[in-house]
Structure 1
Amino acid sequence: MNFFIVLLGIWILPKADALKCFECIPYKAGETCTKETECSSNQRCASVREVNFEGGAQKGVILSSRCVKPEECGESSFSYADVKTYFVIDCCNTDLCNTKPANEPTKYNPNKMKCYGCVGLPCNRTLNCEKNQDRCIISTVTKQGKTTIAKGCATNNTCSDPTFLQGNTNVGKIERCCMDDYCNSATTVGASLLAVPLISLVLFS
């Protein structure tokens, strides 16, 4: 009998540690999110604000409520030339605590890191990274049905397939992140793809 009680306790314990959070992905400003979900035991409740810019002009704001990993909390961002997306992930640690919209992002000033930043190849334009962006990135993005290479700056946690990027199409598929100035200039996805037919030509000619 005691053995079954122990098994029951082991089964119940992770559920007891899991938070219940509101989950609306996305929702409109002024709306109230009422849908509830149970997070994994290692997640927190979060309100997320995604702010998109293009050519220096704000293009839209997307609000959501969801579960996220603790290391995702705070501010994150990525930039490709004139395309920039900022995230504010406000986290809390009690049931159904993510009732308020996330705050506005703080001002993003340039830091000392520099990467190549553009959408499409060739790419030789310098992009000054901002605030806590500490990675250069190479990504494949699809715009209007056309897939191309994008290079730019990003925060570290953007490179790890975070929860807050689920459903986001702007960042595309990140192929590489690196930590040195202009380190996203070397082998690109496009160059690798181009190498395949060239190698075949040499081998079979």
Structure 2
Amino acid sequence: MDLQISVFLLFILFTAGHSLKCYECMSQTGSCAQQQLTCPSGLTKCSTAVTQIGDIKASVKNCAAACQNGSMNLGDLKMSSFCCDTDLCNAKDVPDLSSNVPNGNKCFYCDGPSCLNITSCSGTEDRCGKATGTFGGQSVVVKGCVSKSICDATSVSSVEGISCCEGNLCNGAQSVTQSFLFLCGSLLSYFLMH
């Protein structure tokens, strides 16, 4: 009986000693002051995400359950994320979104009710994407350039359908009447919180 209790206690100590450590910080000016954080159970990744809306830029580093390496360009909203799974591996900042080199691809994006706008893709954004979702009872559509890894992510909170395609302007130019900001908020919260 004492041996079983000893083995159980040793297992608990061994498990607690191998919890993932990530840097944690949040900033609205780009880089942020990092603090080390021991990740809670179930959070097995370290993530760094940068979001830029116009001239406003936010950076977040934290523990995550799941995340993808890649970027998205939805016109005025750009996001980039980095994910890793070793202690303190999220020390570096994600490269500046404005410094990404255009790759020649072009996709439609939505600006208010119109999805007739065209944006140039950059970096690893090798697909055009379209996502539909429901926010506040309204159906919302967003379009833009997306990295393959983000297209492959199948579960994004409150997003019903993500479709990606290869080729210039393959994500269609149909107009929508709903504001895309609601869905952008959902996508942003997913990347910042997961």
Q: When the two structures are superposed, what TM-score results if normalisation uses the length of structure 2? A: 0.58
Shift, 1:90, TM fit = 7.2
Q: 1:27 to 1:67 in 2, by over 3 A?
A: farther
In structure 2, C-alpha distance between the alignment counterparts of 1:29 and 1:116, rounded to whole Å: 27
Three-state SS of the structure 1 residue aligned to 2:35 is: coil
The alignment covers a number of residue pairs equal to 171
Matching of residues 111-130 of structure 1 within 5 Å: 111-112=104-105, 114-121=106-113, 123-130=115-122
Give the aligned residue type for 1:89: F
Answer yes or no: is 1:138 the counterpart of 2:130.
Answer: yes
SS at match of 1:184: coil
Contact 2:127/2:145 (<8 A) preserved: yes
CA offset digits 1:35-81 (Å, max 9, x no partner): 623255773434x3515254xxxx122122212468734xx22122x
SS of alignment partner, residue 115 of structure 2 = coil
User: Does the CA contact (< 8 Å) of 1:18 and 1:41 recur in 2?
Assistant: no
Match in the other structure for 1:79: 73
Within 1, Cα distance between the matches of 2:89 and 2:114? Answer: 47
Distance in 2, Cα, partners of 1:129 & 1:28: 24
Unpaired segments of 5 or more residues in structure 1? 167-171, 191-205
Aligned residue in 1 for 2:22:
21
Equivalent of 2:166 in 168, 180, 185: 180
Output aligned runs, 1:126-205, within 5 Å.
126-140=118-132, 148-159=140-151, 160=153, 173=159, 175-181=161-167, 182-185=169-172
- Maintained 8 Å contact 1:51/1:87: yes
Tell me the TM-score normalised to structure 1 length: 0.56
The percent of aligned pairs where both chains have the same amino acid is 22
Residues 19, 38 of structure 1: 8 Å contact kept: yes
Question: How far, CA to CA, are the matches of 1:29 and 1:151 in structure 2?
Answer: 25
Structure whose CA Rg is larger: 1
